[in-house]
Amino acid sequence: MNKARLRTTLTPYLFLALPVTIYMIWVIGPMIYSFYLSLTRWDGFSAPQFAGLSNFTRLFQDPVFYTSLWNNLEWIAIFMTIPIAMGLFIAMSLNRDIPGSKFFKACFFAPMVLSLVVSGLVWSWLYNPGFGLINTVLRRIGLESFARGWLSDPAVVMEAVITVAVWRQIGYVMVLYLAGLQSIDKNLIDASQVDGANAVQRFFNVILPQLAPVTVVVIVISIIDSLRAFDLVSVMTRGGPFNSSSVLANYMYIQAFNNYNMGYGAAISVILFLISGAFIVFYLSRIVREETNG
């Protein structure tokens, strides 16, 4: 009996042992090592030399770091407004039995199926100042004054890149809200109709409050996706022109693997980790609080 009980107790841990070990080796270990590297000077070849907080001191005096941070914050601001609003609107529009609803759902979600590299390459062709579709259409409809080098103009390059990210994110947000709409209590909606509430009142007073948990998930995911933005910037602009489209992840990669400043790149990764961690802790604390209160 004791052996059977012991086997029952140990079995879950034995199943978890391998994935936890792999996770510790491939995720936790490199993360801890990055914290150590942020306190060193290392070119990737010679032995790391301990440098204390000099990398962070240099970081907070680096104008490119502040540009990258500002671009990430701009990314967050746009991701928390346009994709969420449009994703919710599309989800509400398609959450009914109308002809072609499944087709349109697939169309809006299709950009998420494409890799970020492919999306970046396709949109780079669209943005091409010579033969790109966007400038060609502007010229054809008499708006040639609006045509420009979208990825070479520091004034618009960041917005041009974020537009591609928004195009992909809308479908993802739509799917999350469609899932959330399935759990809404239809009785409350019917009761509000009986009470004479119009469509706007039903949305803001009945539907939206019930979507609050999904909205929290969408916001946190949007923030995390904004902070780890790398692929589109790397493919479309590499942070240029003149670092005007640089983001923290891209700047970290350039410093570490192009300039061989591994310690400095690790310091940027630590800052990025701390910012992301703050939002993750907020999200988890909220989930725990809801579970406790529920």
Cross-strand bridge partners of residue 50: 40
Q: Which amino acid is at 129?
A: P
pLDDT tens digits for range 65-78: 999 999 999 999 99
pLDDT tens digits for range 78-114: 999 999 999 999 999 998 878 888 899 999 999 998 8
More confident residue, 38 or 196: 38
> Does position 121 have pLDDT exceeding 70, yes or no?
yes
DSSP of 173-238, one letter per residue?
Answer: HHHHHHHHHTTS-HHHHHHHHHTT--HHHHIIIIIHHHTHHHHHHHHHHHHHHHHT--HHHHHHTT
Residue 267: its H or E element: helix 262-293
For the entire predicted model, the pTM comes to 0.87
Region 171-196: what's the mean pLDDT?
Answer: 87
From residue 189, how far is each of 97, 176, 196, 214 by CA, in Å? 17, 20, 11, 18
> Does position 47 have pLDDT exceeding 60, yes or no?
yes
Residues 117, 41: Cα–Cα separation, whole Å? 32
User: Average pLDDT of the chain?
Assistant: 90
Q: For residue 188, what pLDDT band results from cuts at 50, 70 and 90?
A: confident
Residues 210, 179: Cα–Cα separation, whole Å? 12
pLDDT tens digits for range 238-288: 999 999 999 999 999 999 999 999 999 999 999 999 988 888 887 778 777
Region 173-195: what's the mean pLDDT?
Answer: 87
Q: For residue 294, what pLDDT band results from cuts at 50, 70 and 90?
A: low
Residues 52, 38: Cα–Cα separation, whole Å? 8
> Does position 1 have pLDDT exceeding 60, yes or no?
no
Q: For residue 8, what pLDDT band results from cuts at 50, 70 and 90?
A: confident
Region 166-193: what's the mean pLDDT?
Answer: 89
The CA-to-CA distance between both ends of the chain, in Å, stands at 38
Domains and CATH numbers, the chain: 55-293 (1.10.3720.10)
pLDDT tens digits for range 207-220: 898 998 898 889 88
Residues 157, 137: Cα–Cα separation, whole Å? 19
pLDDT of residue 34: 93
SS3 289: helix
Long-range contacts, stretch 180-189, CB < 8 angstroms, 24+ apart: 180/91, 180/210, 180/211, 180/213, 180/214, 181/91, 181/92, 181/95, 181/207, 181/211, 183/210, 184/210, 184/211, 185/210
pLDDT of residue 12: 80
pLDDT tens digits for range 135-150: 999 999 999 889 999 9
Residue 237 neighbours by CB distance under 10 Å:
24
From residue 31, how far is each of 26, 90, 118, 250, 270 by CA, in Å? 9, 39, 29, 18, 9
Comparing 13-17, 22-26, 211-215, 288-292, which segment has the lowest mean pLDDT? 288-292
pLDDT of residue 29: 93
